[in-house]
Structure 1
C-alpha cells in the first residue's frame, strides 16, 4: 500500500488512490489535515517517548547518545513519562495554549531541517521530532485504511532554506528520509511540492497547457513552469515537461511573523526609546516571534537574556511595554503572538479590518489592524515571492498559458494581486488550496510504486 504524504510546515496530510482518484485520509478526528505541531512535558521527553511508547529505536550511536542523555535529564527532573504525555496536532496546540509555561511545544519543525550550522546532536534530535510526527501520522492513516502502509511519496520544497544551497537541501531531505524509514516506511521517494500540485491540476485539463504553478505554503514558496495535459498523463518520465523551478523559505509563517512584528510588537516596546532617547534594540522584538529560526529563539529565551530585558525595562521611557516583553519571555508566548497574527491574516482575506486581542499581556489590550496595514507589514516577504515568480518565468524562457495558485497562503488577496500584476492578461486559477499537493503526491506514487 502506498500514500502521498505532504509533510507540511503548517499542516500534514496523506492521500491514497482509489478508483483513479485521490482520497485524503482522516488523521485527527474527522479532519484530513493535522497541524504540524508536537507537545511534550520537556524537550528531552521527545526522544524518550519515541523509544518507550512508540517503539522506535535509535539507528546509530549518536541517536543512542541523545536517548541516554534525554532519559538522564528526565530522571534528574523527576519526570516519569506516561503514555499520552506527548501530543500531536490540534491536541498539542490546545495543551500549549492552556499552559505554555509547563510544556515543550514545537510548531513546524520542517522549517529547521535545512538550517545552517546545525550540530550532529541537533540534527539527531530533529530526526526524533520528525520521526515521532511521521509515526503518529502513519498509525492514524493505517487505522483509517485498516491495512499497513509500506510506501510513501513525500513532498519537498524546491529549497528548504534561504541559504546553504544544495547542501541544505540534502541535509533536510536526509532527515526526512531517515525519519520516514524509522517510522516504518519501507520505500521512500520525493517529489517537488509544486510539481505534485501541478499533477493534480493536470487531471482537470482537456488540452495541453503550459502552467506556472505557484505554491505558497506555510514555510516555503515554490514555483514550477510545467507543460501538462492529456499528452503527459501518467508518463513516468516527465523531465522534459519541467521547464523551470524557483523556491525559497518564505511563506505563510513569514507573513505571520512580519505582521506580528510590525503591528503587535509595538505594544511590547518595539519602536520606543530609552529615557535618554536611544532606540530599543530591534532583535529583542524580532527574536521571540521568529519561530522558524532556531538561533533567534535560542538567543531570546536564553537565561542570560533575562538580565538584558530587565535592564531595558529599567531604562525604558515606556517601561510598562517592556514588562509585556518580559512576560513573553517568562511564559514563552512567542508562538501565541504569531498565532494571533495568523488568525488576523486569515480574517483580513475576507474583511477590511480586524481586532487582535492581547489579553494574555494586559487586560483590555488590543490592536486594530486594517488590510492596508497588513499589506505594508508583509511587503518584504511579498517582494521575495514576486521575485520567485519572475525567476521561474525567466528560467523557463516562456510565458505561461495560465497560473495555478495553491497552498493555504495563496488565498491572500494581496498575493493574488501581486501575481496578476506580474503577469497581466494571463488567467490565474486556483483549486484546492490545502489538498492539491497531497493529491498530486498520491497520483505520482501510483506511477512510481506500481
Structure 2
C-alpha cells in the first residue's frame, strides 16, 4: 500500500486514502504527529542501532566505514547498543532535557541535508539519522494498519538551502531517497510541499482559481502559484498548472531563534563588554540557539570556545552575564532556551505578556516577554517570507484569487497580518495548518500508486 509522508522539520506525519477520503495514520497513541527529534547515548549509537537492532545495512562503502568506526567507538566506551537506546519524538526530548550534557540529541535533521561543503562521512551519518526516523515511523504506521507499506510520496521543500542551489536540492533529495529505501520503501516519489498543500485545498473547490500557496514549515517557507479547480483533481500531469515556485531556508525555527536572541540573550551578555573595550561578538549569542545549524553548534560547544569565554569572563565588567553563557555551554542548554522561545511565541497569540522561565542549573531565570517585543523580534524573518510570496506572484505574472496559508507557523497573527500586504484585495484562506501537506501527499500517492482499501 501507499502513503503520503511529510518528513517535516518540526514534525512528521503520514496518511493514506481510503474510499476517496484522506485518513491520517496515528503514530504515537492516537496522535497523528511525531516530533522530528532523536536521541541516543552517543551519535555513533545511531549507526550501530540501524545495523544491529533493525538489520539495516549502509547504502555504500562510506556508510560501511561510518558503521565500522561507530562500532569501534562504542566498544571503546563500553556501550552495548540495545533497541531502546534510540528514542524518538517527545520521548527523545524529555530524555535529553533530563541530562542534556550526556545525551546525543538531534532536532530537525532535514534543515541541514542541503548544506554544502560537508564530508562524505558526514552526509552518510545524516542519512543514518533520517533512516532511523523513517524506519521508526514506517514501523509505527504498519503496526497501526496491520499491513506492509511499500510505496510512498515524500514531501520536499522547493529549496532545501537558500534560493536555488540545485546541488543542495539534489544532495538533500538523494539522502532522503537512500534513507527511505533503506527503511524499507520499495517505490519512492517526491512532491513539492506547497503543491501537496495546494492539492488538499483544491479538493474543496468547485470553480477554477489561481491560488498562491504559502507553506511555512519549521525550516523552510515555500510559495507556489498554482492553477486549481475540479478539472485537475486526480491528474498527475500538472506541469502546466504550476506557474511559479519560490523557497528559502527560513521558517518556524527562525521565528523561535529570533525571539530567543532579541528577548533573552541580553541576560547572557549581549551588548555587554567582553574586555579591552570591545563588545562580545554577536555570534556567541546566535550560535547556541541556532539548533538546526551543525557548524554553529559545533563552534559554540567546542573546547576552544569555552576557553575563549573563560578568558572574556576574567576581563568583563559584567561577569555575571558571561557566567550564564558559560553555563549554557557546560550544560548544553541551547535547546532549552529555544524551546522556551517557542512557548513564548505560542502563548503570545492569546496573551499580551509571557514570562519565560529558563533553568540554567546555576540559577533560575525569569524573563518577561511582551507581544510587542516578540513582533519586533520577528521583523527580519517575516520580511523574508513576505518577499518569497511577492516573488512567486511576480514570477507567475498574475494576481492570485486566494492565498492559502498552511504550516504550523501560519497560525501566527504576525505572519497572517504581514501576508495581507502581499496582495491587499486577495482573501487569505487556510485548512489544516499541520495536516494539509500530509493530506496532499496522500492524494498524490493515490494518483501515483492507486488508493488503498481496508
TM category (shorter chain) comes to: over 0.9
After the TM superposition, which residues 236-315 of structure 1 pair with which residues of structure 2 at under 5 Å, given as runs? 236-274=236-274, 276-315=276-315
The match for 1:149 is: 149
Is the Cα contact below 8 Å between 2:328 and 2:360 reproduced in 1? no
Is the Cα contact below 8 Å between 1:160 and 1:248 reproduced in 2? yes
The match for 2:410 is: 410
User: How many corresponding residue pairs?
Assistant: 450
Is the Cα contact below 8 Å between 2:336 and 2:358 reproduced in 1? no
1:130 aligns to 2:130 (yes or no): yes
Mapped partners of 1:342, 1:438: distance in 2: 23
Distance 1:362 1:267, change over 3 A: farther
Is the Cα contact below 8 Å between 1:275 and 1:316 reproduced in 2? yes
Gaps (5+ residues) in structure 2? Answer: none
Is the Cα contact below 8 Å between 2:197 and 2:406 reproduced in 1? yes
* Greater mean deviation of Cα atoms: 23-32 or 266-275: 266-275
Mapped partners of 2:277, 2:390: distance in 1: 43
Aligned with 2:433: secondary structure? coil
Mapped partners of 1:260, 1:316: distance in 2: 23
Is the Cα contact below 8 Å between 2:215 and 2:410 reproduced in 1? yes
Aligned with 1:81: secondary structure? coil
Is the Cα contact below 8 Å between 2:219 and 2:252 reproduced in 1? yes
- Please report the TM-score for the alignment, with normalisation by the length of structure 1: 0.98
Is the Cα contact below 8 Å between 2:209 and 2:401 reproduced in 1? yes
* Greater mean deviation of Cα atoms: 107-116 or 76-85: 76-85
Aligned with 1:365: secondary structure? strand
Mapped partners of 2:280, 2:431: distance in 1: 45
Is the Cα contact below 8 Å between 1:324 and 1:361 reproduced in 2? no
Aligned with 2:295: secondary structure? helix
Is the Cα contact below 8 Å between 2:44 and 2:70 reproduced in 1? yes
Instruction: Report Cα offsets for 1:27-86 as digits up to 9, x if no partner.
Output: 112211000000000011110111111111112211110001001111111112222010
After the TM superposition, which residues 268-417 of structure 1 pair with which residues of structure 2 at under 5 Å, given as runs? 268-274=268-274, 276-417=276-417
Aligned with 1:102: secondary structure? coil
- Please report the TM-score for the alignment, with normalisation by the length of structure 2: 0.97
Mapped partners of 1:276, 1:126: distance in 2: 41
- The alpha carbon displacement at 1:206 in A equals 1.2
- The alpha carbon displacement at 1:439 in A equals 0.2
Gaps (5+ residues) in structure 1? Answer: none
- The alpha carbon displacement at 1:275 in A equals 5.1
- The alpha carbon displacement at 1:363 in A equals 3.5
Distance 1:419 1:84, change over 3 A: same
Is the Cα contact below 8 Å between 2:275 and 2:312 reproduced in 1? no
- The alpha carbon displacement at 1:164 in A equals 6.8
1:183 aligns to 2:155 (yes or no): no
Mapped partners of 1:218, 1:160: distance in 2: 12
Deviation beyond 3 Å, 4+ runs, structure 1:
274-277, 361-364
The match for 1:97 is: 97
Aligned with 2:97: secondary structure? helix
The match for 1:168 is: 168
* Greater mean deviation of Cα atoms: 351-360 or 250-259: 351-360
Aligned with 2:101: secondary structure? helix
Mapped partners of 2:276, 2:361: distance in 1: 26
Distance 1:222 1:121, change over 3 A: same
Alignment RMSD: 1.1
Mapped partners of 2:239, 2:196: distance in 1: 13
